[in-house]
Amino acid sequence: MLRGRQGPTISRQDSRHGLITLCFVQVVLSTTLLLLLTTQWTPEHRLFHLSQHIFLISWLTRGTLLAIPITSIAIVVSVWVRIPRLMLVATGIISLLLVMLVLTIVWITQLHNGIWNNVFALNYMTNGDDVCPGIAGSACCGWDYCPLPLCEFADRPCEEVVTQWIRDLFVKTMPLLSLILTLGVAQTVLGFYRVQLLWRQGVFA
């Protein structure tokens, strides 16, 4: 009798241990990526700093990365303290962020393919000798409208600079966005899995 009862208990503990370990890995990975995005040490930050002013891509990625550890913590808490509404809210928020992230990836792909070139060009301002598009107030390369990531292209015409920036944006952001999307999807699956377990246990009743 005792052995028959110990089997499911050990299995349940192993399941909880695996779930907590997976959530811990998610927290470490998402926090590391978030720190890389918010520091000045990486080229990706300089690129995202430019996109932050124009497309708000960096805020979307940071929000998704921040939602991943929050959802992970909610999942771990639900192992001991069953708070179904917390699970639903956390999983729902990250699901919405993932939809926005997918739309962002599609949009960057279209931008790379030249579909949005006309709309993209209209968002820039050139003033006299300023052939480098960007945001006012950056004051680099001798231009008032040249943001830091474009300084290396200071001696090129505006059209070539924009084309190069789009290419760099695609190459440097797509792997990062794809990794964040993968982490987010995994976290969403875990979240809905926990919600399903709580539902079966009658917590929502």
Phi/psi at 146 (5° precision): -110, 110
Domain that holds residue 97: 12-200
For residue 203, the model assigns a pLDDT of 57
Q: When comparing pLDDT for 146 and 82, which is higher?
A: 82
| DSSP classification of residue 151 | G
Distances (CA, A) of 75 to 43, 82, 151, 182: 34, 9, 45, 18
End-to-end CA distance of the chain: 32
For residue 139, the model assigns a pLDDT of 37
**0.75 cut: is pTM over it?**
no
pLDDT, average across residues 1-9: 48
Q: Is residue 146 part of a domain?
A: yes
Q: When comparing pLDDT for 151 and 61, which is higher?
A: 61
Chain position carrying tokens 């699901």: 95
Q: Is residue 205 part of a domain?
A: no
SS3 44: helix
- Alpha carbons 20 and 23: distance in angstroms, whole number: 5
Per the structure, the count of domains in the chain is 1
pLDDT in tens, 39-48: 654 555 555 5
Q: How much of the chain exceeds pLDDT 70, in percent?
A: 44
Q: Is residue 103 part of a domain?
A: yes
Q: Is residue 4 part of a domain?
A: no
pLDDT in tens, 151-202: 555 555 555 656 666 777 677 777 777 777 787 787 777 777 777 776 776 6
Q: Is residue 6 part of a domain?
A: no
